Amino acid sequence: MLTGALPMTSARAFLLIAAVLAATPARAQNAGQIARAKAGASCPGCNLFQADFQNGELKNKNFARARLRQADMSAAIMNRTSFAGGDLRDVNAYGAVFTGANFSGADLTNATFVGTYLEGANLRGAKLAGVNFSGAEMDRALGLTQGQLSQACGDDSTKLPHGLRVKSC
């Protein structure tokens, strides 16, 4: 036995295993699924955590129920793409175009949609807590309620459907 080495007890082994598991991400990104999605494939239910779709063009795709948390969609064009029921928390979609996209039932908590074009986008039942819509064009968005917008923020240049308002960021 080495001098100063502690014998491996079951408690020590448990702590070692717990430390290794704590350092391992529970659901890391799936590089293969991200590569296929970036190449233009639909990927419903895929794990696209932290995917970089920046400046990409993915129209008419199906990412329903996909995990896109912390994905970068800045300046992307994703018209008529479905994100229904997806996890889009902390997404950066600065200046992106989502004409006719489907975000129904999606979790957009803390997402950034600054300067984003959301005309005709379906936001019915989407979670919008902490979303920044500053400068977003969404006056023809569908399914948007005051209750949803009360949890989000925007600015004077945010275009909303008639009768709806958003607090300043």
Structural domains in the chain (count): 1
Integer Rg of the chain from CA? 20
- Give the DSSP H or E segment for 10: helix 10-23
Helix, strand, or coil (residue 20): helix
Nearest to 103, CA basis, from 119, 124, 89: 124
Amino acid at 139: D
For residue 118, give its domain range.
44-160
pLDDT of residue 27: 56
Does residue 69 lie within any of the structural domains? yes
Does residue 165 lie within any of the structural domains? no
Tell me the pLDDT of the chain (169 aa) as tens digits.
444 444 545 544 444 444 444 443 445 789 999 999 999 999 999 999 999 999 999 999 999 999 999 999 999 999 999 999 999 999 999 999 999 999 999 999 999 999 999 999 999 999 999 999 999 999 999 999 999 999 999 999 999 999 999 999 9
Report pTM. 0.83
CATH number at residue 135: 2.160.20.80
Does residue 101 lie within any of the structural domains? yes
